[in-house]
Structure 1
């Protein structure tokens, strides 16, 4: 009898230990205590700032979305003195701290400040005015002439701004797009000889309708057409990948369109989430492509006579290019490419070159794990410049106007995460100076020199386009 009682007592004690352990492990982190222990010294016990910025003023300099904030806490921002907490806090504790900050924002009534009306740079005071407002995820802008602009909205609308007024009705009959994830209507480009031929080019995510399944595959597609009576007409298909290369992922489509002085058209397709495929010549994704404006393949394309390669490929090993620009004087093709966490790149793209993804990279996976230990390899190009941590580069243009004379031929770089426009001075293919000229008005999706010499910035959150001019 005694042994039975002892066994029963042992079992009850074991159950108590198990219950206590489960209760401890299932307990929610004390977010307020964690904040005071790890964050308050810099950001203030009341979250209103101290040695570092306020967390309840609606301003997020290094990414406003939860994912960005979580990664910034976990991995730090070393170049600004913010340490990483991945060894001090669990992922659950970091998420709890972010939730605590969000609740404090609500209590404070934090709202994003409006775009400034005046910005000071190293060279100019700039006036900021709204060019187009109340847009839904605007993605790109280009100009037919000084009085007419075209803006894409990612859900699938092509909008016209005429004489400074956004037209109420979108262009009718534009291609049907797959608006899911990062897909939708992407770039718009006006033919350099538009006055003679009237062509306008569109890039978008296209799904295979005939596919039977819950998640039809998709890929980036390129067409051109004309606008007559606010209607898309005369459409011609310029590039469509083979159906077997389409993917069911919904991110990394690319895609920008540019023209060089010799009449070639360049566009980029992202790796579509399959980085290893960026090294495969037989697949379209993770590449820069070059075609003639009517879709024909140039006779001097680098892989034209390779039986296994896609004939339109111009370069490979590109993760997800969302910025492309042609140098106004040299005709060189420059691109900005999203890295993973770290490793955003600026590259001058040359025929047949391999830019390394994902064999070499300066970035890591978003969870902090290593993609590869390699940053160099024979036969693979080094970036002309890279950002670590990443700023989420998007939109690119060489300044070509006359309003900002000091910035002639300097490179305008947009940043989604950091909500910035940066200005890069390049000499002998090297970045010798970088400055932020515009920040905090929204996620910068595109940046372009207008025919009037102003700088036009396409913003997400809020969806609008702003116009930058020097103070008169």
Structure 2
């Protein structure tokens, strides 16, 4: 009995201490802000030499993790210093809580979606194409009047004649909706008019695997057809050996594209095991190439290498979530998430090694060094890297006629920075980049529609917007 009372007393004392500690931190947040931040962001947080912190706009990442790292490690190229050596982590969190409390006090809200945008070449009309979606991930078009949109929790949605259909497609594959996993990419066969094939990428879980609390999972590629709003005729095109599945819940990839010669390319992220991206016997951290029926091309670059996965096309890729084929050259381009810093744009070539995690321009999210190496013989350099990371996601070459000045330019989406960037390429060089969409939401995908409009898939809000040039 005395033992129980002693435990209870200790618990009460610990709780009182914790409450006092949290209260002290809350008070310190205002003092710490005044000492470290007010000179630039204003005593009332409403801006000065730097942006307001109570207007609902976060240019460099709205989520807590982004804000924490921005304070701790700074944004050097914009003149924001790092506080890694002057503030402990709890003090940074206290400042963040103070900012959040002040924003709530003044009723700060993210501004509504813009109706117009201005770029160097065009003034743009913005309209909502679909809304009320739950973590939309990808969009592709069956024809000018029909679009398919994936929702990460596992739904395939149809937009018909400009209207989002109430019922998702029935009987789509079961997905592991956990962490970064779920229903990912959707791609329409280039010869859809003759064969009706639709391709899906998703996180596939091994069911009944010994009662594990976290069953292993891996990216899987299937194709099927939609008849009477039901997924039918499914064929599995790629499923890794189950012993290669992992219990992690992030870095699945995945994009699907087709080149002019009929090859199908898809990506699998490193699944949180960067060292495996260099292992040709494993599927993760790679780009894969197959025929549209799932068979392996005889000229794949690792066919002759003993024990290598025969579907491999490139290796050393951390987590590719943007991939596109150049409309004129047929070249494969990809955007790849770096760690903290080092997002990459790469021209993907057969058999090449893109370095992860042996070389990188980034470092771990806690600031520790992954490697000091940024170059190594036999490993490719990116065509462009972003440091700090903008969290690249979604990629397409503009192929329409509405924005004639942007023909064959590259549209790059960004999650963290909530951007679409327009990149001008000259062969394998990036000549210029411009932000054409900013602050509308986390950009998950960007695509040229058959009507020549640009479609941007947003998370937070779960919306797809349609961009067209304003009539002069």
- What TM-score, normalized to structure 1? 0.94
Separation in structure 2 between the aligned mates of residue 270 and residue 287 of structure 1, nearest angstrom: 7
The corresponding residue for 2:57 is: 59
Residues 121-145 of structure 1 show CA distances to partners (whole Å, capped at 9, x for unaligned) of 0000000000000000000000000
Per-residue deviation, 1:448: 0.2
Mark the CA change 1:304 to 1:407 in structure 2 (over 3 Å): closer, same or farther.
same
Aligned to 1:108: 106
Q: CA deviation at 1:52?
A: 0.7
> How many angstroms does 1:307 deviate by?
1.8
Tell me how far 1:306 sits from its aligned partner. 1.4
Runs of 5+ consecutive residues of structure 1 not aligned to the other structure: 1-22
Runs of at least 4 residues off by over 4 Å: 23-27
Q: Deviations over 1:243-295 (max 9, x none)?
A: 00000000000000000000000000000000000000000000000000000
SS at match of 2:25: coil
Specify which of 54, 65, 68 is matched with residue 66 of structure 2. Answer: 68
Inter-partner Cα distance in structure 2 for 1:451 and 1:80: 39
Query: Is 1:28–2:25 an aligned residue pair?
Result: yes
For residues 112 and 120 of structure 2, what CA distance do their matches in structure 1 show?
Answer: 22
Q: Structure 1: how far apart are the matches of 2:448 and 2:97?
A: 40
The residue that corresponds to 1:11 in the other structure is none
Counterpart in 1 of 2:373?
Answer: 374
Partner of 1:179: 177
Q: Distance in 2 between matches of 1:294 and 1:111?
A: 48
1:44 Cα offset (Å): 0.5
Q: What is the match of residue 166 of structure 1?
A: 164
Q: CA deviation at 1:24?
A: 9.5
Aligned counterparts, 1:307-322, within 5 A: 307-322=306-321
Cα shift at 1:108: 1.0
Encode CA deviations 1:211-266: one digit per residue, 9 max, x unaligned: 12111000000000000000000000000000000000000000000000000000
* CA–CA distance in structure 1, aligned partners of residues 243 and 77 of structure 2: 44
Q: CA deviation at 1:63?
A: 0.2
Structure 2 distance, partners of 1:60, 1:364, is 23
Equivalent residue number for residue 145 of structure 2:
147
- Using structure 2 for the length normalisation, give the TM-score: 0.94
| Separation of aligned partners in 1, 2:178 and 2:191 | 33
Task: Give the root-mean-square deviation of aligned CA atoms.
Answer: 1.3
SS in 2 for 1:28: helix
SS of corresponding position for 1:103: helix
TM-superposed deviation, 1:428: 2.3
Partner residue of 1:404?
A: 403
Q: Structure 2 vs 1, CA of residues 442 and 49 (structure 1 numbering), >3 Å: closer, same or farther? A: same
In structure 1, distance between residues paired with 2:287 and 2:83: 38
2:66 is paired with a residue whose SS is helix
Q: Hey, what does 1:12 align to over in structure 2?
A: none
**Alignment partner of 1:382: what SS?**
coil
| SS in structure 1 at match of 2:90 | helix
TM-superposed CA distance for 1:204, in Å, is 0.1
1:328-387 Cα shifts (integer Å, max 9, x gaps): 000000000000000000000000000000000000100111000000000000000000
- Quote the residue 1:210 is aligned against: 208
Distance 2:21 2:306 in 1: 62
Matched, 1:330 2:306: no
Q: CA deviation at 1:27?
A: 5.6
- In structure 2, distance between residues paired with 1:452 and 1:71: 41
Q: Provide Cα deviations, 1:56-80, integer angstroms capped at 9, x if missing partner.
A: 1100000000000000001111111
Structure 1 residues 1-400: aligned runs within 5 Å: 28=25, 30-212=28-210, 213-400=212-399
Shift of 1:28: 3.1
Partner of 2:467: 468
Q: Which residue of 1 aligns with 2:15?
A: none
Whole-Å Cα distance in 2 between the matches of residues 115 and 450 of structure 1?
Answer: 20
